[in-house]
Structure 1
Amino acid sequence: MDRWKPNKFVKLHQQLGNDWKYFPIIGNAISFLGNNEDLMKVFMNLSVQGFKRTHNAISFWLGNIFFVGIMDADQAIVVLRSTLNKNFMHRFSKYLIGNGLVFAPVDIWHRRRKILAPSFAPRYVSKYVTVFETHAKIVVKQLESKRQPDHPFFNAFVENLKNVAARLCQPWLHVDVLYQLLPVYIRQEHTKKIIHDFVNDLICKTKALIEERDGIEAEVYNPTNKIKVDVKSFLELMIESSKNTDKAYTLEELREETLVLALAGTDTSTVGICFTILLLSQYSDVQERVYKEIQEALSDSEKPLQMEDLFKLKYMKAVINETLRLYPPIPLITRYCKQDLKLPTGIILPEGSNVAISIWGIHHNPQHWGEDVNDFNPDRFMSGQIPNAFMPFSHGPRNCVGYQYAMLSITTTLVTLLRQYRFTPATNFTYDKNNPLRLSFDVMMKHVDGFTVQVESRG
């Protein structure tokens, strides 16, 4: 161990440790080399190591930066409730998104959460059933014509985040001066401009729409896709909610929160939908049970969805929860300890510790879920009791403010698709314990093979 490392971290590392090779100066960073798929394998290996240790935790070094990896729910809850500070690694995401709610320092987060919270109140979120169904029907039409959406904003967003994820665990790329000499930085600047220009234009159009409406409740025009709906967009709600505060959102702040919504709201929902469809394609009995429940709850296939309809879909919710357990869109979150913190197992995280909380690990910990932890079994959620070890939307004060929005989006989209289509496995692909899904870490957890399934019309 390098002599210049702080003694308080060295002592804890001797107590926890890991199974990876250690090298002077770079620590365990060599174990994090590889592509985005390799990086996800490292996070999974980190969790498996923790399962076997007394404290359900390991420690590791990225250069001179000390981390404690936690994959136990009770310990994670203590950290997430008492430690609100995000660690240094979030600055790489801030390059694109800035001080959006997910990445903001605590003082900025407090102000923005207070402004944003009313926009996610049930009275607003429930109105989005119609919006989600409208867009899901567009997806249905696209599947009929086998068209694939291809938008510069979407492509730039995916590429930028993939490069951010690759940079996170390589300490030699943390130095901005060095990173800016690499070709990937030029690509990051290019994709960042595409993303910011698109969102800035959207904000300007939305502000013009609000001014034109002049406070009169009317049919809302969405400038991005030319679909008319009778509910305000979240961007409109953010603009209007901040008007009555001490300081209205600036263009930069609106862009940051819009990008957070795209990342933490839309992208997580999309990943959740895709993993659910992929699993349903492999488990035909589960898919047919979901479809039967939908038919019993809605009967008429042309009947528009209502909020009360979704409450009836208990098995559908269990399927979604089990999917989010096995494949949480955000597999890892981090925190920074500004003071010593004692965990339930007795270990003390010293001031200055970085904590990596493995949501994937907590969701795959056999101590929480039993020996069938790796099985896809939606019935484990049918009791109505949600275990503390289920935290796909994080936990504590800085949990996902839009988790209800995400669940509503996932449920509505799946109902709309399953009413029209049956999903079956892609040719020559069968998912089981001996042939697990290939996963990659692109900030979100993604399927390497692109969520490929076959689609059959139920008609």
Structure 2
Amino acid sequence: MWLGPMFLVVSSDADNATVILKTTLHKTLVHKFGKIIIGQGSIFAPVDIWRRRRKILVPSFAPRYVKQFIAVFEAQDKILVEKFKSHVGKGNFSCWNDVSNYTLDSVCETVFGMNVELQRQLDNPFFSAIEELMKTTAPRIFQPWFYSDAIYKLSPVFRRQANLKKIIYGFIEDLICKKKEQIRVGGNEEKTDNPAHNTKLNFKTFIELMIENSKDDAYTLAELQEEAVVLLVAANDTSAVGICNTILMLSQHTDIQERVYKEMKEVIGDSNNPLTLNDLLKLKYTKAVINESLRFYPPVPFIIRSCKEDLTLPSGITYPEGTDIVINIWGMHHNPQYWGEDVNVFNPDRFMTEQIPKAFMPFSYGVRNCIGQQYAMLSLTTTLVSLLRKYRFIPATNFKYDKNNPIRLSFDLMLKNVERYPLQIEDRDKI
């Protein structure tokens, strides 16, 4: 297909996609548009910059660190559960804002070690700026007349994005400076305006880990800002979209929801003890439900790579140097060749086998895949446990989805439900 002056080859073949994603690491022209948000952050960075930063970032996502964040997720989940309480038995409501504020709070705490309490604020400029910046960035991909930076910088949307970026980077710079000062004086204590919330942290934050891991090749403040924005935008949106999609599908498939709840009761019981990694890993069916949700509605529907040399695929086709390739994750996730004729049926049991089709790529594939996938899965699982212990989700009035009436989606760098995830909730204890 053509996007203005750009010629793109689209691949929905899993064998070809694995080869492309393992061997072709360069991002294409389209990805430069994301730099408005994250500069040279590792998602869209050129390969030479990406290699150095990836080397520093990977140790920060080691399982021994990520599992410590379960306590953060669970603490923030308690606030989310309380927020949902106001919607019990009151008809349709959109769960997007509540869930997105929860994920932002969780990410801010795990990245900076600070509870910014976005969930308790009715209107936060930081959250609003991220939402608007994502929405205004995506359309440029499909507007070739704005591919020229010189032309784009004359547009009102560019000037608006510059203001939004100032809000986001100002917020993050303030948190980084506070964290650096904590590290300088040898403390690791979360300070808030409420003395009751001032607690000694029992984990190392991502910022601390990045500073430690880069000590021989230290990150500059600008680099820390860019990678912090990557973590905030990527971790927040991926987790929030994943949680909302899963909740929405559970509301539409109450039999599956009850099976998840039954598994949680069998594994965790009625205990109010803190969740552990061991508990979460035992929730096999819950993980299958999350995977099926990610297959059905992958947050990132496509990935684009650029060939810097000729590439011969298993099919025998050769992409010449300079070819831009779209890896169609949505296409692979909905291809009956890999998933069977019931590909458009929400069926978590397809993930209960040992063999998961190679066409399953919600977090990309290869060395340039998403390094935060374990983080996202733990956030999703912890949140589902916390919510399903307390509530039952049921379909919103006049919003029944099935294979003949699919959910309407919009693209603003992530795929999101146009209606912002409407559903209803009931209190389990009163049913």
User: When the two structures are superposed, what TM-score results if normalisation uses the length of structure 2?
Assistant: 0.88
Q: Work out the CA distance in 1 between the residues paired with 2:15 and 2:323.
A: 18
Residue number in structure 1 paired with 2:207: 235
Q: Work out the CA distance in 1 between the residues paired with 2:59 and 2:178.
A: 23
What's the CA shift for 1:301?
A: 4.1
Q: Work out the CA distance in 1 between the residues paired with 2:211 and 2:82.
A: 32
1:421–1:458 Cα contact (<8 Å) kept: yes
Residue number in structure 2 paired with 1:165: 138
Question: AA paired with 1:411?
Answer: T
What's the CA shift for 1:262?
A: 1.4
Indicate whether 1:201 and 2:174 are aligned. Answer: yes
Q: Work out the CA distance in 2 between the residues paired with 1:235 and 1:277.
A: 31
Q: How does 1:327-366 map to 2 (within 5 A)?
A: 327-366=297-336
Q: What are structure 1's unaligned runs of at least 5 residues?
A: 1-59
Query: Which of these two proteins has the greater Rg computed from alpha carbons?
Result: 1
Indicate whether 1:325 and 2:295 are aligned. Answer: yes
Residue number in structure 1 paired with 2:392: 422
Indicate whether 1:125 and 2:97 are aligned. Answer: no
Residue number in structure 1 paired with 2:54: 113
Indicate whether 1:447 and 2:417 are aligned. Answer: yes
Closer/same/farther in 2, CA of residues 223 and 444 from structure 1, 3 Å limit: farther
What's the CA shift for 1:63?
A: 2.0
Q: Deviation digits for residues 16-71 of structure 1, max 9, x if unmatched?
A: xxxxxxxxxxxxxxxxxxxxxxxxxxxxxxxxxxxxxxxxxxxx112221100111
Closer/same/farther in 2, CA of residues 392 and 234 from structure 1, 3 Å limit: same
Residue number in structure 2 paired with 1:384: 354
What secondary structure does 2:387 align onto?
Answer: helix
Residue number in structure 2 paired with 1:82: 23
1:104 to 42, 45, 67: 45
Residue number in structure 2 paired with 1:10: none
1:72–1:365 Cα contact (<8 Å) kept: no
What's the CA shift for 1:435?
A: 1.2
Q: Work out the CA distance in 2 between the residues paired with 1:402 and 1:92.
A: 22
Q: Work out the CA distance in 1 between the residues paired with 2:367 and 2:35.
A: 20
Q: Deviation digits for residues 151-173 of structure 1, max 9, x if unmatched?
A: 21111111111111100121111
What's the CA shift for 1:355?
A: 0.7
Question: AA paired with 2:269?
Answer: S
What secondary structure does 2:366 align onto?
Answer: coil
Q: Work out the CA distance in 1 between the residues paired with 2:35 and 2:412.
A: 15
What secondary structure does 1:272 align onto?
Answer: helix
What's the CA shift for 1:295?
A: 0.6
Q: Deviation digits for residues 394-425 of structure 1, max 9, x if unmatched?
A: 00110111111111111111111111111111
Residue number in structure 2 paired with 1:55: none
Residue number in structure 1 paired with 2:190: 221
Q: Work out the CA distance in 2 between the residues paired with 1:64 and 1:182.
A: 20
What's the CA shift for 1:222?
A: 6.2
What's the CA shift for 1:119?
A: 0.6
Residue number in structure 1 paired with 2:152: 179
Q: How does 1:135-146 map to 2 (within 5 A)?
A: 135-145=76-86
Closer/same/farther in 2, CA of residues 205 and 282 from structure 1, 3 Å limit: same
User: When the two structures are superposed, what TM-score results if normalisation uses the length of structure 1?
Assistant: 0.83
Residue number in structure 1 paired with 2:126: 153
Residue number in structure 2 paired with 1:283: 253
2:370 to 390, 400, 406: 400
Residue number in structure 2 paired with 1:19: none
1:70–1:356 Cα contact (<8 Å) kept: yes
1:202–1:224 Cα contact (<8 Å) kept: no
Question: AA paired with 2:208?
Answer: E
What's the CA shift for 1:223?
A: 5.8
Indicate whether 1:271 and 2:241 are aligned. Answer: yes
Greater Cα shift, 337-346 or 438-447: 337-346
What secondary structure does 1:351 align onto?
Answer: coil
1:309 to 273, 279, 297: 279
Work out the percentage of aligned pairs sharing the same amino acid: 59
How many pairs are equivalent? 394
RMSD (Å), alpha carbons? 1.6
